[in-house]
A and B are shown apart, each in its own frame.
Chain A
Amino acid sequence: MRPTDRKYSETSEWAKIEGDTATVGITDYAVKQLGDLIYLDLPEEGDNVVKGDPCGEIESVKAASDIYSPLTGEVVAVNANLPDDLDNLAKDPFGHGWMFKVKLSDPGEVAHLKTAEEYDQFVKAQEAR
């Protein structure tokens, strides 16, 4: 199973909540779907991001995809080295591959995200299609 200390979105972002702040990244499944990574555009500190809205872009040899914020709030930190170190993202999406931190404006939104178990089921269903 994937890490149980965080929640997941159907667009394959993860959010690890500590107090009123969430650390956000994308899952191993997203990385696998994308394949060879080429380009990453992250939000900037101070940006306001909205749950379900695009806040960044990731591109692989295959395709360009939006990164959706799993939660609403203000970006308070960004993993600024990550765009230059996409290997790190590919190898360790749940650790070194973290993307940004959001100070939550509506912590109630967290309840709408999936647990690790639910997300595992979701991925299995996707892969079976």
Chain B
Amino acid sequence: MSALGLRETPLLPLHQEAAARLVPFAGWKMPLCFSGIVEEHHATRNSAGLFDLSHMGRFRLRGPGRTAALDHLVTNGVAALPPGRVRYTPLCAEDGGVLDDLLVYVFEDELLLVVNASNAAADFAWIREHAEGFETTLQDMTDAVAMIGLQGPRAAALLAPLTDADLPALRNYHHVTATVAGIPGLLSRTGYTGEDGFEFLFPAATVREVWAPLREAGAVPSGLGARDSLRLEAGMPLYGHELDRNTNPLEAGLASFVRFDHDFIGRAALERVRDDGPRRKLAAFESDGKRIPRPGCRLLSGGHEVGRVASGLYSPTLRRNIGTGYVPAELAAPGQTLEVEVRDERLPARVVPLPFYKRKT
């Protein structure tokens, strides 16, 4: 902990050495950017970006009841998944509101949950409470394990000489134990940028010995700023923006991650939403003008407020301003026109399909 009470990742000394711009984020001291948000964004789209993800919460769920407990907790069950797989899922409350969205790593004898830093403490309490009676133990591994991301079209080529993993055999949303730069850890083909890429988990004490060789191999250290613009272009939600306690996964466009094939907390509420159809939906829009629509800006239709901007930023790839926001379902269809109010100016905006950006395969 620093004097301000901010938690520090094991990589912070390297970020400070690199003169990164550091900001408080979800209780952590994190790099907003190194060389510049736009430059870092293009590095991941065109080459390879390197991200410190150690602030994300990491929990280990063990015990004979772990799979049943997790299926009771999450909308996208893991019961059928063999070891070696990774699954994305929302975590909902009884009323269907989203508590968090997370990744589940399946192992022979345990599940690893990777959750948002902003929700980690609340998630831990919620999971422990609702896993009671399932014969499980829940352990917070956040400080013991560090996490980094390597993302971009060159990620695999750059990583190959540094790892013993069979990268061509490692498919999306799969994980393997592997060494990187000689350090043993866990490697998954996952990410939050819309590009091919990997996420690594290593003991906190060794992560610096992984970061430095990747950087020397040409991966560009990148901060939270680029991470945000990359994930929004790729149409991926961010908790606190597209998702929160007052949104449900169906209106958020996450229906494919809600499987009614098992019983889970929030199922009855989400069945009602499914049957009636969501009243509002997440719309993605492009707006005119140079002014950037920021979160909280009003969205208007026919001069009336119909929603607020959830995420809004300048898209370095599309070279225009983009955003998301919840609006009545009939206004969320691609082709609809809206206005977005940025300070005193109303800018024309068009609803477009998500994602804004899709990589060429």
Residues of A in contact with B (beta carbons under 8 Å apart): 35-36, 38-39, 57, 59, 61-62, 64
Give the chain B neighbours of A35 by CB distance below 8 A. 21, 33, 36-37, 225
Structural contact, A61 and B294, CB atoms closer than 8 A: no
B292 to A64, Cβ gap below 8 A?
Answer: yes
- Bound complex: CA A39 to CA B38 (Å): 15
Main secondary structure of the interface of A (DSSP, over half): strand
Complex contacts, B294 vs chain A, CB 8 Å: 64
B304 on interface, CB distance cutoff 8 Å: no
B interface, by DSSP: helix, strand, loop or mixed? mixed
Give the Cβ gap from A107 to chain B, nearest Cβ, in Å: 32
Max chain B CB contacts within 10 Å: which of A59, A61, A64? Answer: A61
Q: Is the CB of B225 within 8 A of A59?
A: no
Q: Name the A residues within 8 Å of B21 (CB-CB).
A: 35
Contact between chains at B343 and A38 (CB < 8 Å): no
Binding site for A on B (CB under 8 A): 21, 32-33, 36-39, 225, 229, 290-292, 294, 313-314, 316, 343
Nearest CB in chain B: distance from A44 CB, A:
16
Q: Are B343 and A36 in contact (CB under 8 A)?
A: no
Identify the closest chain B residue to A57 (Cβ).
B343
**Which of these, B225, B291, B343, contacts A61 with CB under 8 Å?**
B225
Please measure, in the bound complex, the distance between the C-alpha atom of A35 and the C-alpha atom of B38, giving whole angstroms. 9
B21, B314, B343: most-surrounded residue (chain A CB, <10 A): B314
Question: Can you name 5 extra interface pairs (CB under 8 A) apart from A39-B292, A61-B313, A64-B292?
Answer: A35-B225, A36-B37, A38-B314, A59-B290, A64-B343
Q: How long is the Cα–Cα vector from A58 to B314 in the complex, in angstroms?
A: 14
Q: Is the CB of B225 within 8 A of A62?
A: yes
How long is the Cα–Cα vector from A58 to B247 in the complex, in angstroms? 33
Known A61-B313, A62-B225, A64-B343: A39·B291 in contact at CB below 8 Å: yes
Residues of A within 8 A of B229 (CB): 61
The CA of A44 and the CA of B39, in the complex, are separated in Å by 33
**Cα of A61 to Cα of B38 in the assembled complex, Å:** 8
- Nearest to A32 among chain B residues (CB) is B21
